[in-house]
Structures are given as structure tokens and as C-alpha cells.
Amino acid sequence: MSRSTSILGDFLRGLGQATFFLITILRALPGALLRPRLIVQQLYYVGVLSLIIIVISGSFVGMILALQGYRTLSHFGATSTLGVFVSFVVVRELAPVVTALLFAGRAGSALAAEIGLMKATDQLSGMEMMAVDPVKRVIAPRFLAAAIAMPLLTSIFAVMSIGVAGGHLIGVDLLGVDQGTYWGQIHAQLRPHDVVESLIKSVFFGIVIAWISVYQGYFASPTSEGVSRATTSTVVVSSLTVVGLDFVLTAFMFR
Amino acid sequence: MISPDSDIHVRVRGLRFNFGPRVIYDGVDLDIPRGKITAILGPSGTGKTTLLRLIGGQWRPKSGTIEVDGIDVHKQSRSQLFELRKRMGLLFQSGALLTDLSVFENVAFPLREHTDLPESMIRDLVLMNLEAVGLRGARDLYPEQISGGMSRRVALARAIALEPALIMFDEPFTGQDPISMGVLMRLVSTLNKAQGLTSIIVSHDVKEVLSISDYAYVISGGKVLDHGTPEAIRASRSEYAQQFLHGRPDGPVPFHYKTAKSYTDELLESQA
């Protein structure tokens, strides 16, 4: 009983601390926007450097969906709807969710480790003593860059999955689905609000991953074990939050 | 303590601070004279670095006050504290250089953050400061490419970039070769004389620090054990001060961390 109370207490304390930290970051954002160079630099680190994993994963997810979809649809003689099948699954669910999970593993963990190490090596304290607010100088640009990068990476994931080397490669080039039918069905069935909802999800996921990553790094114990724990927690907590949040958002959008 | 109020740059009164159950300061009073070099001496773990962080407002005391230029550090808002910190520098033991910036950019960092100086002037100031610490040639290197001793010299160049009125050094001479140590000691001394800088030096290098200090405090067990001019400290009759100054293993300052069991009991216990 006392152990579960203590765990609940720790959780609520952590949640409160994280909420106050988020408010501090949000208040620092206008100042960070005045220094676009820092944001662009972080966009490169969290966005551009995540491209390779997103492009490759997107392509393979699209190829797998096309193979599985073609096999199932062929039982009903409906292989012409392969494009719709792939695009619905990718745009509505897999693009935002898989991109978020990959992003948490690639960029979120890197952010937490970098900030945690900056803390362990007194770099954040050093900034404070130079009268430079580390939340404005270090945290806010990283938070913003991660939140901006997620919808962009989600779009790239979707493009790679549905077209280019993904579903299109397998469905049209390999299995012989008519190219006009493939794209025509997508054009006819996929509604603009499907795309908008996908982007809304990715914005939420981006903010949540950015928040968890910078929080874990900033409040990490300044030891090698502490940084390691912060990195692991970032991936675990982000992943669980993303799938949970995805259910909530999907339930709202389902109506 | 030291006389007139205006001559005191940092005033510490009734300072109490602890890490959990471990008491670090138990009612400490200190006066750091303006424009002088003050040494803070004491054995490891006595809280010398903690004192610098408390003066810098990074940590909050359990009770007591710390005033810098008559301003109570711990009663300031965050923005007021940042304004105060622009007038003070802290040289961390680790150097605390920003690892994603080159040596040049590290020294330029406070200038870029707090001034609107043109790039050409920033370049000149950075090169002058790097020349003073003998590292102008290392300006394009990154922190991971230089030694710990060099990092501290770069950190010193960075700490003096904004020409603060108060500078706190945390073990500045650790890891320095004899030549660098000599140069750094001269530099600290010159900065003090030329710019009227108030310096607080926390160090284990007792002889070296006392040779350039105007005043010294010996701290141990959460209290000030002795204070005075270097000559007075050297001539002190305090057993604590003498043990520390001469590095004697036996004396009032225990070498071993407190433990309830004796060494023999503990060894025999494991055999039983």
C-alpha cells in the first residue's frame, strides 16, 4: 500500500514538475524565435539527421503493406483498391505513429542525452553563471525544432510509404496494379481532412516527444547512470505516450 | 572581520547549508574584501565549491544571508540575479566549456550574449583574452581536443571577457604544469592589480594560493577555523590550520570518513 502510494506520489510530483517546466519553455519560446539560427541548427540535428531512418522505414512499411494488402484484396478481386488500402493505413495511422516512435528513438534520446551531459559537465550551470538562461538558449530551440520536425518527417514518411519506393514500387511496378487506378483510387477516396488529421496527430506527437526529451535531460541526475536512465526513459515514456495519445486523438477524430 | 562596509564585496552571515542529513555549513560568517584576492582553504568535501555556488545564487542556503555589493543574492528575482551575475564570473573546476563551440566561440559566447559589439571588436577581445592565457593558437580547437588544464585556461579567458568586478576560481591550478601554473598565478594577480578585480580562489594548492592572496579563510567541519592575512595564517597556532597547511595525516581533521565501526571489527566481521 505504502509502496504504491509512494509510486503515485513520485508520478504526480514528476508530472507537476514537468508541467511547470513546459510552462517555462513556452514562456521562453518568443525569445527563442528571435534567434532563428539556433532553431535552424537544431532542425538539422533532430530533423535532417533523422531523415535516413524515416525514409528507409517509410519505404519498407509501404512495401510490406502493399504485399499484405495485395494478398488479402486479391481474395475479393479488389486489387485495384490497393492504393486506397495503403494510403488509408499510412496517412491515418502508421505515418504519424511510426514516425513518432522512430523520432523518439533517434532524436528524442539524443536530445535527452545531450542535455543530460550538458548538465553533468556543468555547461548549464556555466551558462547560468554567465547570466544566460539555459531554458532560452538550449531548451527552447530544441523543443521548437523537434515540434517543427515531426510533421515534416511524417509527411516524408507518408510519401515514401505510398509512392516512390513503397506501395507504388511493389503494387504497380512488381505486382502489376494499374498505375492510373492506383493513384486515381487514392485521389478519389483519400479526403483532405485525413491528411489534416494525420498532421494534427504528428504535431501533438512532436510536442509531446520534445517535452519529454528535454524534461528528462534537464532533470537527469548529473552522472553517467543518470544520463543513461534519462535516455532510456525518454524512449519508453515517449513511445507509451504516443500510442496512448494516438488512441485518444483517433477516438476524437473517429466521430 | 575586515573593516569598512564599502570595502567588503561579499558578505556572508550565519550561513547554514546541508545536503540531506550532511551539514556543510553551520553558521559561517565571511567577509570578502573588495579588490583583493581571498583564498578559501580547506580539506576535500568541506564545501568550498558549494560556497561559490551559494555566492553565485545557484544554490539557496538553509538560513543566513549572502550579500554581493550589498545586494542579498537570494532575495533577487531571476532577472535581477542574472543582472548581478553579469558583474561576477565563476571559473568551474571542470571548465564547463560548451562542447559544441570552438575555443574562440566559447570565449566570444558571453560577449555575443550580452553586448552588441561589432564582430571585429569581438574578435579582437577574444584574441586578447586567449593571448593572456596563452591559448591564442588553440582558438579553432574544440573542448574535446584540449587538455583539462587548457580547458580551465579557456574558461578563465571566458570568465574575464565581460570584465566582471568579482571572479570566483574553483581549483584553477589543478592539472596545470608548473609553467602554466606560474602564468595563471601571475595573470590572476595582474587582473587583481590592473582592474581592481575581487578574486575568490578555492584551492588545495596552499603554498601557491597563499603566495598571491591578500586574505585567507580556513574552513573545515562547516565552520571557519581561522582567517587572516597569509602571514597570519602561516603563523597560526590553530591545530586545524597547521595540519592543513603542512598536509599532516594526523590531527584534528580526520583523514577517514566518519564510520561507526572500527577497521578491525569490520574485517573480523566479514571472516565470522
Q: What is the DSSP string of B193-208?
A: HHH--EEEEE-S-HHH
For A117, the grid coordinates are: 551531459
B257 has a pLDDT exceeding 80 = no
Is the per-residue pLDDT at A82 higher than 90? Answer: no
Name the interface residues of B facing A (CB cutoff 8 Å): 53, 56, 58, 78, 82-83, 85-86, 88-90, 92, 94, 96-99, 109-110, 113-114, 155, 158, 162
Residue B92 per-residue DSSP state: -
Let me know if residue A24 belongs to a domain.
no
Closest-CA distance, A126 to chain B, in angstroms, reads 6
- The total of other beta-carbon atoms located within 10 Å of residue B104's CB is 21
Inter-chain touch B92–A122, beta carbons under 8 Å: yes
Q: Could B99 and A121 be called an inter-chain contact, meaning their C-beta atoms sit closer than 8 Å?
A: yes
Q: Residue A60 falls within a domain, yes or no?
A: yes
pLDDT tens-digit map of B193-252: 888 889 999 987 888 888 889 999 988 888 888 889 999 888 887 777 777 777 777 776
CB contact under 8 A, B98 and A126: yes
Residue B122 pLDDT level (bands cut at 50, 70, 90): very high
Contacts of B158 in chain A (CB under 8 A): 130
Q: In B, which residues are within 8 Å of A132 by CB distance?
A: 109-110, 113
**Does B97 reside within a domain?**
no
Residue B184 confidence (pLDDT):
81
Identify which of A139, A119, A152 has the alpha carbon closest to the alpha carbon of residue A42: A139
Asked if residue B118 is part of any domain, the answer here is: no
Side-by-side strand order, sheet with B63-68: B22-33, B8-19, B63-68, B71-72
Tell me the shortest Cα–Cα distance from A120 to chain B, in angstroms. 10
User: Residues B40-55: what's their mean pLDDT?
Assistant: 87
Nine-digit cell string for A113? 542525452
> What integer best gives the mean pLDDT of chain A?
90
Nearest chain A CA: its distance from B192 CA (Å): 20
Contact predicate A210/A125, CB 8 Å? no
Q: Is residue B149 part of a domain?
A: no
Cβ distance B98 to A123 less than 8 Å, yes or no, reads yes
Whether the per-residue pLDDT at B37 is higher than 60: the answer is yes
C-alpha span between B189 and A191 (Å, rounded): 74
List the single residue in A122, A128, A131 with the smallest CB-CB distance to B94: A122
Q: Do A131 and B98 touch (CB under 8 A)?
A: no
Please state the rounded mean pLDDT for residues A59-65: 91
- Predicted pLDDT at B254: 66
Per-residue pLDDT averaged across B46-67, rounded? Answer: 91
Q: Out of B82, B92, B162, whose CB is closest to A126?
A: B92
Residue of A nearest to B98 (CA): A123
Nearest to B96 among A125, A133, A137 (CB): A125
> Do the Cβ atoms of A123 and B56 come within 8 Å?
no
Say if residue B4's pLDDT is above 60: no
Residue B9 domain-assigned (yes or no): yes
Q: Give me the number of domains chain B comprises.
A: 1
Q: Considering the domain boundaries, does residue A125 fall inside one?
A: yes
Q: Inspect the interface and report whether the beta carbons of B58 and A129 lie closer than 8 Å.
A: yes
| Chain B positions in Cβ-Cβ contact with residue A137 (cut-off 8 Å) | 113
Q: Count of domains in chain A?
A: 1
Residue of A125, A132, A137 with shortest CB distance to B58: A125
Task: Assign B42 a pLDDT band (cuts: 50, 70, 90).
Answer: confident
CA Rg, chain B, in Å?
A: 20
Q: Is residue B62 part of a domain?
A: yes
Look up the domain containing B49 and give its range: 5-87+190-271
In a domain, A248, yes or no: yes
pLDDT at residue A254 greater than cutoff 80: no
Q: Is residue B105 part of a domain?
A: no
pLDDT digits (tens, 9 = 90+) for A117-167: 999 999 999 999 999 999 999 999 999 999 999 999 999 999 888 877 778
Q: What are phi and psi of B160, to 5 degrees?
A: -95, 0
DSSP state of B60: -
What mean pLDDT is predicted for residues A31-54?
92
The CA-atom distances, in angstroms, between B164 and each of A116, B33, B35, B97, B149 are 29, 15, 11, 18, 22
CA B64 from centre of chain: 20
Average pLDDT, chain B: 86
| Model confidence at B152: pLDDT above 80 | yes
pLDDT score of A73: 87
User: Please, which pLDDT band fits residue A208 given cuts at 50, 70 and 90?
Assistant: very high
Is residue B6 scored above 70 in pLDDT? no
Q: Could you tell me if residue A23 is inside a domain?
A: no
Is residue A239 in a domain? yes
A131 and B97 within 8 Å at the Cβ level: the answer is no
> What is the 3-state secondary structure of chain A?
CHHHHHHHHHHHHHHHHHHHHHHHHHHHHHHHHCCHHHHHHHHHHHCHHHHHHHHHHHHHHHHHHHHHHHHHHHHCCCHHHHHHHHHHHHHHHHHHHHHHHHHHHHHHHHHHHHHHHHHHCCHHHHHHHCCCCHHHHHHHHHHHHHHHHHHHHHHHHHHHHHCCCCHHHHHHHHCCCCHHHHHHHHHHHCCHHHHHHHHHHHHHHHHHHHHHHHHHHHCCCCCHHHHHHHHHHHHHHHHHHHHHHHHHHHHHHHC
For A87-105, write each residue's pLDDT tens digit: 889 988 999 999 999 999 9
CATH number of the domain enclosing B31: 3.40.50.300
| Neighbouring residues of A61: CB distance < 8 A, sequence distance ≥ 6 | A90, A94, A98, A157, A161, A166
- List CB contacts (< 8 A) between B58 and chain A: 125, 128-129
Stretch A3-17: mean pLDDT, rounded? 86
Quote ipTM for the complex: 0.82
With respect to residue A193, please indicate whether it lies within any of the assigned structural domains: yes
Chain A residues within an 8 Å CB radius of B167: none
Q: Which residues pair with B170 in a beta bridge?
A: B202
- Residue A81 sits in which domain range? 35-254
- What pLDDT score does B127 carry? 94
pLDDT value at position B255? 65
Task: Identify the CA nearest to B198 among candidates B72, B50, B32, B69.
Answer: B32
Most B CBs within 10 A among A130, A138, A223, hence the mutation to make, goes to A130
Q: Is B127 a domain residue?
A: no
Q: Does the residue B218 lie in any domain?
A: yes
Q: What is the pLDDT of residue A243?
A: 95
Domain assignment present for residue A17? The answer is no
Tell me the residue type at A64.
Answer: I
